[in-house]
Amino acid sequence: MIMKSTLSVSCLILAFFFLSGAQSARITFTNNCLYTIWPGTLTADQKPQLSTTGFELASKASTSLDAQAPWIGRFWARTGCSTDASGRFSCTTADCASGQVACNGNGAVPPASLVEINIAENGGKDFYDVSLVDGFNLPVSVSTEGGTGDCQTSSCPANVNAVCPANLQLKAGDGSVIACKSACLAFNQPQYCCTGDFNKPETCPPTDYSMIFENQCPLAYSYAYDDKNSTFTCSAAPNYVITFCPST
């Protein structure tokens, strides 16, 4: 009788978690770069932030965290980070301006290569992509483990900094190019930001600047309405692997 009762309770608990969408996706971060990076995480407003919002990741190291479905958010990697004499932490690219390794709900300061994931509840259809809409700071890819459907890898494996035009370049103190701005960030004009009269696909086509990103990384978003070959889907609760510098 006790065993039967316990089993019934267990089944009810499992059913509750399934029906409430309480399954989670494991997201693994791998740093394939030849230098240390500091990934950041940002959860959309629908629920609290993940268990970590920023952390250090050494070259060739990996770490994982869980995101409970439904979940919407983004990930990126900061570079050139250090702590000053006052104890304030900052980075030369993709800083989240929190003053700490943890981003605490802050997003990346552009330019930054972004991974965006929308995790569905109850094993529904997830959406994910690599976005260069906010510019580029380092190569990145996102792939799935498990799941059903298309489930292809979204990737920007190229070093866009190597072909970044002078008027989009973000440079370090030594003159080296450390990130590539979007035209929207560089010029703040509606035709590049897809705002005002340019706020729909019909009036905001690709530009010469967005095509630089598109030609280097055709499987990533190059500007706001770059939907072709840029959004990826996978169903049945896949896990995710985000790799920084995937082609190194």
The answer to whether residues 33 and 84 touch, using CB atoms and an 8 Å cutoff, is: no
Higher pLDDT, 22 or 51: 51
Mean pLDDT of 195-201: 96
- pLDDT of 46: 67
- pLDDT of 202: 95
Strands (E) located in the chain? 24-31, 38-43, 62-68, 71-78, 82-83, 89-90, 114-119, 126-131, 140-145, 154-156, 169-171, 177-180, 232-234, 239-244
Mean pLDDT of 229-243: 96
Start-end of H helices in the chain: 2-19, 183-187, 190-193, 208-216
Mean pLDDT of 160-187: 97
Q: What mean pLDDT value characterizes the chain?
A: 91
The answer to whether residues 160 and 136 touch, using CB atoms and an 8 Å cutoff, is: yes
Give tens-digit pLDDT for 36-54.
999 999 999 767 899 999 9
| CATH class of this structure's domain 23-244 | mainly beta
Bridge partners of 37, per DSSP, are: 57
Mean pLDDT of 164-193: 97
Give the pLDDT band of residue 153 (cuts 50, 70, 90): very high
- pLDDT of 110: 98
- pLDDT of 5: 38
Mean pLDDT of 137-157: 97
Domain boundaries, the chain: 23-244
Predicted TM-score of the model (pTM): 0.90
Q: What percent of the chain has pLDDT over 90?
A: 87
Mean pLDDT of 214-221: 97
- pLDDT of 22: 64
The answer to whether residues 17 and 63 touch, using CB atoms and an 8 Å cutoff, is: no
pLDDT at residue 236 above 70? yes
- Measured distance CA(184)–CA(50) in Å, rounded: 29
- Range with lowest mean pLDDT among 5-9, 167-171, 191-195: 5-9
The answer to whether residues 138 and 222 touch, using CB atoms and an 8 Å cutoff, is: no
Q: Which two tokens stand for residue 188?
A: 């703040």
Give tens-digit pLDDT for 63-99.
999 999 999 999 999 999 999 999 999 999 999 999 9
